[in-house]
Amino acid sequence: MVSIEQVLRDHQIRPTAIRLLMYRFLKDSQVALSLNDIESGFDQSERTTLYRTIKTFERKGLVHQVDDGTGVAKYALDKPANGKQSTQDLHLHFHCTNCNETTCLTEHKIPHISLPTGFIPEDMNLLIKGVCDKCSGQ
Amino acid sequence: MVSIEQVLRDHQIRPTAIRLLMYRFLKDSQVALSLNDIESGFDQSERTTLYRTIKTFERKGLVHQVDDGTGVAKYALDKPANGKQSTQDLHLHFHCTNCNETTCLTEHKIPHISLPTGFIPEDMNLLIKGVCDKCSGQ
DNA sequence: TAAAAACATGCAATCTGAGTGCATTATTGA
DNA sequence: TCAATAATGCACTCAGATTGCATGTTTTTA
Ligand SMILES: [Mn+2]
Ligand SMILES: [Mn+2]
Ligand SMILES: [Zn+2]
Ligand SMILES: [Zn+2]
């Protein structure tokens, strides 16, 4: 079990106060967070700094951006690459139209897709919209 | 073979000059178009009118909005529902990171996806990013 | 360890696309 | 023809994303 400080260092990120706080904040969240969500979670906070922090996390491979179709970027911590570095595990994302929360379904991978000749895939995003488990009451 | 005027009327849309022009413009395009793309395609044009026109088309079921992850909304004509009204044919979308064009792969449907208990799907979007046929030169 | 270099943070400001309010003009249809 | 209804133009607003620059910190290097 590694300290957050160490996790950051392992990703070439200097563990400053805000970074540690934001990491913990992201880690404690079950859903993907927008910059506004993050900002609301801090008392004193400069949104530019938060913005640059999340972008640093993204660039260094700590978080991934989630596009849930709302037009607002959200972010979620990458699953700690267990053992080997899976380039990127293309899991699906669920956006609840009721509570507006967006969840990473990390266990549900995107099935293989065949494309017309000439189209070379490099990345993909499968977004499901509907009602989440909390809202459906099931 | 129906006139564009008739198509619009069939969708409860008054066939004004701009609407006819925009319909033709969308029809002639092989790729999904942003509002800017559309605006550039017209000499005299008021972007608000174009905006409201495309939104009217969308509301009336003539076009669908395409979310290609760039943060800019694009639009494409719906395939003329051949015969029966398929509520919505969830085809996939391809966004070329080279030429920035977004294509509807209307023949490629989104495969069936299973979700965790409690998650009720209502809509979905499968976006593939990569290099398109024109850019890959294959 | 002191100065330089590299990086982080704050704050102001810009940019872009989306969307609305309202006055004006064009259509429709009684 | 007149009133009702819809379409269009133009001016604005708004939110989120992103950058420029000055200042504060940390890390390196000599
Ligand atoms: Mn995710
Ligand atoms: Mn499409
Ligand atoms: Zn929900
Ligand atoms: Zn291309």
Four-point Cα dihedral A9, A15, A20, A23, nearest 10: -40
Tokens representing residue B30 in the block: 């092989």
Nucleotides in chain C with any atom closer than 7 Å to protein CB: 7-13, 17-21, 27-28
Number of alpha carbons in the 13 Å side-chain half-sphere of residue A130 = 18
Nearest nucleotide, CA A12 to C1': C7
Determine the 3-state secondary structure of B128 from DSSP: strand
Q: Can you give the distance from the CA of residue A115 to the C1' of nucleotide D24 in angstroms?
A: 52
Decide: CB of A53 under 7 A of nucleic strand C: yes
Residue with tokens 């006819």: B20
Q: Can you give the distance from the CA of residue B9 to the C1' of nucleotide C27 in angstroms?
A: 14
Contacts 24+ apart (CB under 8 A), B81-85: none
Residue with tokens 């398929």: B86
β-strands A120-131, A91-96 pairing: parallel
DSSP assignments along A15-53, one per residue: --HHHHHHHHHHHH-SS-EEHHHHHHT-SS--HHHHHHH
Q: Which of the residues A99, A107, A124 would you substitute to probe the B interface, choosing the one with the greatest number of B C-beta atoms within 10 Å?
A: A124
- Out of 1.10.10.10, 3.90.220.20, 1.20.140.10, 3.30.2270.10, the CATH code matching B4-136 is 1.10.10.10
Binned at pLDDT 50, 70 and 90, residue A133 comes out as: very high
Binned at pLDDT 50, 70 and 90, residue A83 comes out as: very low
Residues A131, B120: Cα–Cα separation, whole Å: 5
B117 in Cβ contact with A130 (< 8 Å): no
pLDDT in tens, A92-131: 999 999 999 999 999 999 999 999 999 999 999 999 999 9
pLDDT in tens, B20-71: 999 999 999 999 999 999 999 998 889 999 999 999 999 999 999 999 999 9
Q: Is A133 within 8 Å of B116 when comparing Cβ atoms?
A: yes
Q: Is the pLDDT of residue A69 over 60?
A: yes
In this prediction, residues A21-26 reach a mean pLDDT of 98
Q: Does B126 touch chain A (CB under 8 A)?
A: yes
Show the CA angle centred on residue B14, arms to residues B11 and B15, nearest 5°: 100
Domain spans, chain A: 4-136
Q: Which amino acid is it at A111?
A: P
Binned at pLDDT 50, 70 and 90, residue A84 comes out as: very low
